[in-house]
Amino acid sequence: MEDFAHAMADFVRNHQVWAAPIVLVLAFGESLAFISLLIPAWGALVAIGALIGASGISFWPVWLAGGVGAALGDWVSYWFGYRYKEHVAQMWPLSRYPEILPRGEAFVQTWGVPSIFIGRFFGPLRASVPLAAGIFEMPYWQFQVANFVSALVWSAALLLFGDVIAQVMEWLWRTV
């Protein structure tokens, strides 16, 4: 995981024009059911956020790309759950992690539409909540509004977290 994050950050540092497309793909994968369980990309997103202030990458296109990628990942997960309801639990890798889908279901049943926003910020729930929302047929437009708003907030939070860490590290380096 750490090597992956470093490799992505190094590539973006050397090829800044690719920052937004790479962030879009990473955020899409991080939010997509099944894929996010295999390759968590949040570390790479934080590392790329650290490059924003340090290397002059523009925040706005990278932020929007991250938000759109995350929202598209959740939308695909929602659609997949809606389309393949009863078959999802038997599919790999969810068949190997049987506790994830019931946790997502309980979360969606308890919290409703806010579950999309809340679930975005918690690891395994990030991809299972939209899948559960599709399985249990959360109203489409309510899902999409929560999906896009939470995706933009999540993207900003990860990128700004990386940027703040980089600024603190730079300040410590100069001070010490």
List the pLDDT tens digit at each of the 176 positions of the chain: 567 767 877 888 888 899 999 999 999 999 987 777 677 788 888 888 888 877 888 999 999 999 999 999 999 999 999 999 878 878 877 778 777 777 778 888 898 899 999 989 887 677 788 988 998 899 999 999 999 999 999 999 999 998 888 888 888 888 87
Is the whole model's pTM more than 0.85, yes or no?
yes
- Secondary structure class of 84 (helix, strand, coil): coil
Bond preceding residue 114 cis, omega within 30 of 0: no
Given 3-state DSSP classes, what are the helix, strand and coil percentages for the chain, each rounded to the nearest 5?
A: 80, 0, 20
**Which pairs from 136-142 meet CB under 8 Å and 24+ separation?**
136/105, 136/108, 136/109, 137/82, 138/78, 138/108, 138/112, 138/113, 142/113
- The answer to whether 113 touches 41, Cβ cutoff 8 Å, is no
